[in-house]
Amino acid sequence: MLTLGLILFPAIAATLILLIKGERAKQVALAAALVELALALSAFVQFKPDATSQFGFDYAWIGALGIRFSAGIDGISVLLVLLTGLLVPLIVLSTFNRQYERPSTFYALMLFMQAALIGVFTARDGFLFYLFFEAALIPIYFLAAMWGGANRIPVTFKFFVYTIFGSLFMLVALVYLYYQTPPVAGIAHSSAIVDFYKLKLTPNAQNWVFWAFFIAFAIKMPVFPFHTWQPDTYVESPTPATMLLAGIMLKMGVYGLIRFILPIVPLGVEAWGQTVIILSVIGIVYGSIIAIRQRDMKRLIAYSSFSHVGLMAAGVFSQTETGMQGALIQMLAHGINVVGMFFVADIIFSRTNTNQLDQLGGITRATPKLTVYFMIMLLGSVALPLTNGFIGEFLLLHGVFTYNHYLGLAAGFTIIFGAVYMLRMFQKSMFGPTSSRTATFADLTMSESLVFVPLVIMVFWMGIYPKTFMDITEPAVVNLMKYIGTTAVSMK
Amino acid sequence: MLPIVLLSVFGIVLLFLGFLKSKAILLPATLLFLLVAGAANFLDWNKTYLYFGDMLRTDNLTMVFTAIILGSAFLVVALSGSFIEDEEAQPAEYYGLIMFALVGAVMMVGFQNLIMLFVGVEILSVAMYVLTGSDKRNLRSNEAALKYFLMGAFTTGIMLFGMALLYGATGSFTLAGIAAYAVNPQTGLSLLLYVGLLMLLIGLLFKVSAAPFHFWTPDVYDGAPTVFTAFMSTVVKTAGFAALFRLLSISFVGVYEFWWVIMAVITAITLVIGNVTAVYQNSFKRMMAYSSISHAGYLLIGLASLGAQTKQAIVFYSLAYSVATISAFGVLLLVAQQRGTQTISREGATGESFDSFNGLARQNPLLGFAMAVSMLSLAGIPLTAGFWGKFYMFSTAVERGQIWLLVVAVLMSAIGIYYYFRVIIAMYFRDGVIEPIRVAPFYQYVLLAATILTIGLGIAPGLLQGLF
């Protein structure tokens, strides 16, 4: 029942916020997001680390078709629920010094988005998953296209059409899987994800189902070469929307890989996994190299995010326990770091009206707080030991390395390149002589610091004592790996 | 049965009500009549009757289709208030003709005999020819009526010829009689059966504007007054598909192997032509015409892969499509009336272009929302009824294993998003005229009801299940 609350509460709160006039919407949205955080934390704390699905609910939805309204939290989704619960209040808080036109719509859309995201991460029915997967797109599209930059209309439209196009293929695959399940009591089949796991598809079917799913998720993450919508969308969207996109939404893709592709089409993974890892590694290197050349902070972070997510995809497809664990940990870590980085870019933009690195510089002189927080978030992003990024990337690289030494080596460039572009960004923006734009740079306000504090705590907590998070996911990962091992063998 | 009698009587009553000085009573009277007919429709719920020497059948499926048709008509009439305010308008005749058209539509839904089908099609069509040309001063309306009439009359001829050939082959006009003959294709059926079936299909496919019989659609939809365009694209389409479904699922299941390829090819062509051409339109109304062609394509998927799910799929899809289309046309009606001028350019009337929707959502949040929801539904985005419509259609195709048809449909849905979202982008993200549009309260309630229905069916599509 806790899951039902997690999904419904933000949706109801959002509907009520729509009725509020004026700036009060902001405070109400923050309060609602904090309540949701409390719910997510209680789920996290009460979660029993085993392979079962907990706090669930299950109602008949489209009875005659055997489609059920069913969701719950298991070891794979628990960290993502925590991430969503944690980031949304911070993103709301990060807007406290900004003015957005029609605030009630703005914050309502953010909370609708949150409801859909929680739905995606907890759904236990294939069609329910699809529904939330698409439903998450509508609010973010409106957020980006209504409050975005000058070029927002064509850019966000490309993003929208691109992602919808991908998920239509997933819909075809889901319908196909649905009809493969044995009929229960007469004509109805089942669309429960666990029933999809039991299917024994022919190798041929597995291949196309693999691609149908993979294209949907690859566009969402994005994996090379499906990434062309991403940098422009991140840059043109208002920063809170970018944070939602990069911090949480791209995890829908990685989550989908683990939830659907690996267990349902193991033979497809066997046939195409290497191709995907190679694509991911190309994306890692390619994204890093482009990031090094960027002059715009937001665009640089966008490419770094593209590069990082490539490593997650590679880790998942390495089909090792460490790779999978790494992906789960890194999803949480990356969400925290990328939101911190985008917030830094937003703070700099709000004070100087630019994100161009060559027009910045010397900010550090008057801003001890910003410098420290920026540095910590940056170290997390470049995977320095004792920060959260290190744990995730180390596990992922270990996984890819076990799969194939050379690919692991190539993927390892992400850490070196990451240090290069991140430190370059820090140096260009924070050090050096002040420019006319940065001469009167004011340090962080109270509400801005408040956003960073939880992020910094998470960076170190995950970096120093990752056991809290690893223990909770481990049984589910072990179970999944065992399952993949046995089904793949039994299908041959 | 009861709806047919009632609607005929009400149609005549409406004509007489036209003698009254005040026209104000006509709209509420028509709505009341439709409600009464709709209620009477359900009196025979869960019972099956045959009427007129077994030529007409009432069962739950008939009643559900009739309810969709009467409901669509109700919404259209409810949104027609502003149209009949015009001095030259003849509301009594319009509403009377709508009643008669509905009689034809109900016959097409429940026919058991090809003669009854023919009579139904003709009653519906003749009324529609007149209504299309009802804007007498508008040249395009006249052109549309003439085109529709000439091409419609021609295909009616083909259809009648097809029926005659079927009679020649089977010796029967009844659905059951034809089915009994066509049940065993191995024994060698008369060639006349195949030719007759094709000609009959051409006639009906013309009515639902499937490609390559769609050429009349854009001009007629564009030229006809918007109220009647909405009527045409919902009631006529629903009735046409109900008839096609009844015909194919009862009489011609035996020769499925013969016609499914033809239907599948027509489906694919319809989907491609409808969606691709819609992308290039600058007039919203013309876009809706092509959109209606493309939706005929989605509905045809269910027929081309006729199976256990088809009935469900067609009922749900026609309902979802009708509700969304009517509320889109309802918003267009207001926008065109208050933002457009009467001058007509090559692109169509000025108030009907995409640009006239600019900034609509800021000044009229309700109109914007209603339009956005109906566009999302037509585009098949989840949480709207249109999504489940597509879902059911895709399911039928998967069930029959017609994956290639499915791939075409999926690609075309992606294209569809492009043109439906042009309206949403114009309404929400572009700046336009500052002056808000005046909306009568009743009009608002109707739009709101249609919007709620679309979202409600999107969240709980199971509501319709088990009804028929």
What is the secondary structure of A2-61 as a DSSP string?
Answer: HHHHHHHHHHHHHHHHTT--STHHHHHHHHHHHHHHHHHHHHHHH--SSSS-EEEEEEEE
C-beta separation of A218 from A226 below 8 A? yes
CB spacing of A179 vs B398 below 8 angstroms: yes
C-beta separation of B68 from B61 below 8 A? no
CB spacing of A62 vs B376 below 8 angstroms: no
Q: How many domains does chain B have?
A: 1
A165 interface with B at CB cutoff 8 Å: yes
Cα–Cα dist B4/B15, whole Å: 17
Q: How far is CA B305 from CA A46, A413, B53, B400, in A?
A: 49, 52, 32, 6
Token pair recorded at residue A127: 């069609």
Whether the predicted interface score ipTM is above 0.95: no
CB spacing of B462 vs A63 below 8 angstroms: yes
Least CB–CB distance from A187: residue in B308, B410, B414: B308
CB spacing of B398 vs A161 below 8 angstroms: no
C-beta separation of A13 from A90 below 8 A? no
CB spacing of A160 vs B421 below 8 angstroms: yes
pLDDT of the residue at B341: 57
Give how far B380 is from chain A: nearest CA, Å: 10
- Measured between beta carbons, the chain A residues lying within 8 angstroms of B461 are 62
- Measured between beta carbons, the chain B residues lying within 8 angstroms of A172 are 394, 398, 406-407, 410
| End-to-end Cα distance, chain A | 40
Q: Name every residue whose Cβ is closer than 8 Å to that of residue B58 and which is 6 or more positions away in sequence.
A: B1, B44, B47, B48, B49, B51, B110
> Which chain B residues touch A if contact means CB-CB below 8 Å?
308, 376, 381-383, 387, 391, 394-395, 398-399, 406-407, 410, 413-414, 417-418, 421, 425, 428-430, 460-462, 465-466
- Measured between beta carbons, the chain A residues lying within 8 angstroms of B406 are 172
Asked if residue A222 has a cis previous peptide bond (ω within 30° of 0), the answer is: yes
Strand partners, B283: B353
Strand partners, A123: A71
Burial of A490 (0-12, 13-18, 19+ CB in 10 A): exposed
Q: Name every residue whose Cβ is closer than 8 Å to that of residue A467 and which is 6 or more positions away in sequence.
A: none
CB spacing of A61 vs B376 below 8 angstroms: no
Give how far A174 is from chain B: nearest CA, Å: 10
Please name the residues between 232 and 291 in chain A that touch chain B, using a CB distance below 8 Å: none
**Coil, strand or helix at B173:** coil
Q: How many CA atoms lie within 13 A of A397 on its CB side?
A: 17
pLDDT of the residue at A492: 65
Q: Which of B391, B431, B455, B465 should be substituted to probe chain A, the one whose Cβ sees the most A Cβ atoms within 10 Å?
A: B391
| H or E stretch at B58 | strand B56-58
Cα pseudo-dihedral A43, A44, A50, A56, rounded to 10: 20
Least CB–CB distance from A161: residue in B407, B414, B465: B414
Cα–Cα dist B252/B180, whole Å: 9
Asked if residue B212 has a cis previous peptide bond (ω within 30° of 0), the answer is: yes
Q: Name every residue whose Cβ is closer than 8 Å to that of residue B298 and which is 6 or more positions away in sequence.
A: B271, B317, B389, B390, B393, B409
Cα–Cα dist A451/A369, whole Å: 12
Q: Which of B305, B366, B395 should be substituted to probe chain A, the one whose Cβ sees the most A Cβ atoms within 10 Å?
A: B395
Q: Which of A128, A141, A164 should be substituted to probe chain B, the one whose Cβ sees the most B Cβ atoms within 10 Å?
A: A164
Give how far B424 is from chain A: nearest CA, Å: 10
* pLDDT, one tens digit for every residue, chain B (468 residues): 788 999 999 999 999 988 887 778 888 999 999 999 999 888 888 888 888 888 888 888 899 999 999 999 999 999 887 777 776 778 888 999 999 999 999 999 999 999 999 999 999 999 999 999 888 888 888 999 999 999 999 999 999 999 999 999 888 899 988 888 888 766 778 888 899 999 999 999 999 999 889 999 999 998 898 899 999 999 999 999 999 999 999 988 888 888 989 999 999 999 999 999 999 988 889 999 999 999 999 999 999 998 888 888 999 999 999 999 999 999 998 888 887 654 455 445 566 788 888 888 888 889 999 999 999 999 998 889 999 999 889 888 888 888 889 889 988 998 998 899 989 988 888 887 777 888 888 889 999 999 999 999 988 887 776 665
Q: What is the pLDDT of residues A156-189, one digit of tens each?
A: 999 998 898 888 889 889 988 988 888 776 667 8
- Measured between beta carbons, the chain A residues lying within 8 angstroms of B466 are 64
Cα pseudo-dihedral A22, A24, A25, A26, rounded to 10: 120
pLDDT of the residue at A186: 63
**Coil, strand or helix at A73:** strand
Give how far B198 is from chain A: nearest CA, Å: 31
Chain A residue whose CA is closest to B381 = A134
- Measured between beta carbons, the chain A residues lying within 8 angstroms of B387 are 131, 134
Domain carrying residue B158: 2-464
Chain A residue whose CA is closest to B459 = A61
Cα angle at B447 between B20 and B414, to 5 degrees? 135
A450 interface with B at CB cutoff 8 Å: no
Chain B residue whose CA is closest to A170 = B410
Long-range contacts of A7-10 (CB under 8 A, 24+ apart): A7/A71, A7/A115, A7/A118, A7/A119, A7/A122, A8/A115, A9/A35, A9/A36, A9/A39, A9/A115, A10/A36, A10/A88, A10/A111, A10/A112, A10/A114, A10/A115, A10/A118
pLDDT of the residue at A172: 87
**Coil, strand or helix at A64:** helix
| End-to-end Cα distance, chain B | 18
How many C-beta atoms lie closer than 10 Å to residue B339's C-beta? 20
Cα–Cα dist A300/A422, whole Å: 9
Burial of A385 (0-12, 13-18, 19+ CB in 10 A): exposed
Please name the residues between 89 and 128 in chain A that touch chain B, using a CB distance below 8 Å: 127
CB spacing of A175 vs B413 below 8 angstroms: no
**Coil, strand or helix at A315:** helix
C-beta separation of A459 from A388 below 8 A? yes
CB spacing of A157 vs B425 below 8 angstroms: yes
Cα–Cα dist B200/B218, whole Å: 23
pLDDT of the residue at A375: 92
Chain B residue whose CA is closest to A116 = B383
CB spacing of B460 vs A61 below 8 angstroms: yes
Chain A residue whose CA is closest to B362 = A102
Q: What is the pLDDT of residues A132-163, one digit of tens each?
A: 999 899 999 999 988 888 888 889 999 998 89
CB spacing of A164 vs B417 below 8 angstroms: yes
Chain B residue whose CA is closest to A101 = B362
Task: Identify the segments of chain A with pLDDT beneath 50.
Answer: none
A188 interface with B at CB cutoff 8 Å: no
C-beta separation of B134 from B141 below 8 A? yes
What is the secondary structure of A142-183 as a DSSP string?
Answer: HHHHHHS-TTHHHHHHHHHHHHHHHHHHHHHHHHHHHHHSPP
A18 interface with B at CB cutoff 8 Å: no
Give how far the C-alpha of residue B366 lies from the chain's centroid of Cα atoms, to the nearest Å. Answer: 25
A187 interface with B at CB cutoff 8 Å: yes
A57 interface with B at CB cutoff 8 Å: no
Instruction: Please provide residue B467's backbone torsions phi and psi, each rounded to the nearest 5 degrees.
Output: -80, -25
Least CB–CB distance from B428: residue in A60, A135, A142: A142
